[in-house]
Amino acid sequence: MTLTLAPEARPAAAAVWWSAARPATLAASLAPVIAGTALAARTGGARWDAALCALAGAVLIQVGTNLHNDAADHARGADGPERLGPPRATAQGWLDGRAVRRAAALVLALAFVPGAYLVALGGWPILALGVASVLCAVLYTGGPWPLAYVGLGEVFVVGFFGLAAVAGTVFVQTGAVGVEALVVGLALGLVAAAILAVNNLRDREGDARAGKRTLAVRLGARFARAEHAACLLLPFALFVALWARDGWAGWLLPLLALPLAGREVALARRADGRDLNARLGGAGRVELGVALLLALGVAVA
């Protein structure tokens, strides 16, 4: 049996669906494609048709994942009356859960449109990556063992919104994946995981009651804050390592986002509950900033 929150004043339909798409999290799909395209451009292999299709596919997969989560979390009781995060459309009664699931399926199906073009360019590796991405988008909060409910959410985010997204973007444009793409993918995946870490820190008590065994539930608030800090700060060490490896000064440009990351760590350390909501967008801004600075480094090289 699931609970529906006492409805607030219902926003306009467009605003409800926009909220369900969770736009504050979309940096996690934009940043890897920006960074991957920058890496492809560094070797002279950038293809803007492939980049735009990769961007469209990544955003559609993330929006589909977010919509599915909106309905699935409510059905499992994770978005109960005590929810501290932004209002969720299904839990508020603004949208019917079945309609949200159908919308999620439609958006994920639409991802195969740009995906088909990318498969024509990159072959079976891109097909395998696309199918795996859509499957995991559903299994993140669906199926008998949802990834988010067994403490594997961060693994999913680092793997698909970091390593796979950057490497896939580079591969479909250049036909190869080097060490740089994997390291940058790991860096951006870690920052994306910081978004999830602060989300799980905020929701740890409600998640525990709903049986959602995130790392914050399993290991506690102190661990979750340390995880958030590590995910935001370790990526900068990876860029320093890339610079040490080949001496290209462009690897150091993302370090300009380090003060912003440090500020987010400090603010999250002092916040709890609803006060952590602003830190979701903060981590997203760090990730997008890192990707844009890397792209700037390529542009001015």
Domain positions in the chain: 23-300
Give the range among 9-18, 203-212, 262-271, 280-289 with minimum mean pLDDT: 9-18
Give the model's pLDDT for residue 232: 97
Flag whether pLDDT at 8 surpasses 60: no
CATH architecture of the region 23-300: Orthogonal Bundle (1.10)
Element (H, E) at 37: helix 27-42
Average pLDDT over residues 98-124: 92
Give the range among 3-12, 119-128, 283-292 with minimum mean pLDDT: 3-12
Q: What is the pLDDT of residues 25-53, one digit of tens each?
A: 888 899 999 999 999 999 888 999 999 99
Q: What is the pLDDT of residues 181-195, one digit of tens each?
A: 999 999 999 999 999
CB 42 within 8 A of CB 301: yes
User: What is the residue-averaged pLDDT of the chain?
Assistant: 88
Q: What is the pLDDT of residues 54-72, one digit of tens each?
A: 999 999 999 998 898 888 7
Q: What is the pLDDT of residues 250-271, one digit of tens each?
A: 999 999 999 999 999 999 998 9
Give the range among 82-91, 139-148, 153-162, 239-248 with minimum mean pLDDT: 82-91
The fraction of the chain above a pLDDT of 70, given in percent, is: 93
Q: How far apart are CA 264 and CA 223, in angstroms?
A: 16
Tokens describing residue 121: 């360019």
As a whole number of Å, the end-to-end CA separation of the chain is: 58
Q: What is the pLDDT of residues 128-180, one digit of tens each?
A: 998 998 888 888 777 677 888 888 889 989 998 999 999 999 999 999 999 99
Give the model's pLDDT for residue 296: 95
Q: How far apart are CA 2 and CA 276, in angstroms?
A: 26
The single-letter code of the amino acid at 71 is: A
Using 50, 70 and 90 to split pLDDT, how confident is the model at 79?
low
CB 161 within 8 A of CB 139: no
Give the model's pLDDT for residue 155: 92
Q: Look at residues 213, 215, 217 and name the one whose alpha carbon lies nearest to residue 204.
A: 217
Q: Is residue 232 left, alpha or beta, with left meaning phi > 0 and alpha meaning psi from -120 to 50?
A: alpha
Using 50, 70 and 90 to split pLDDT, how confident is the model at 293?
very high
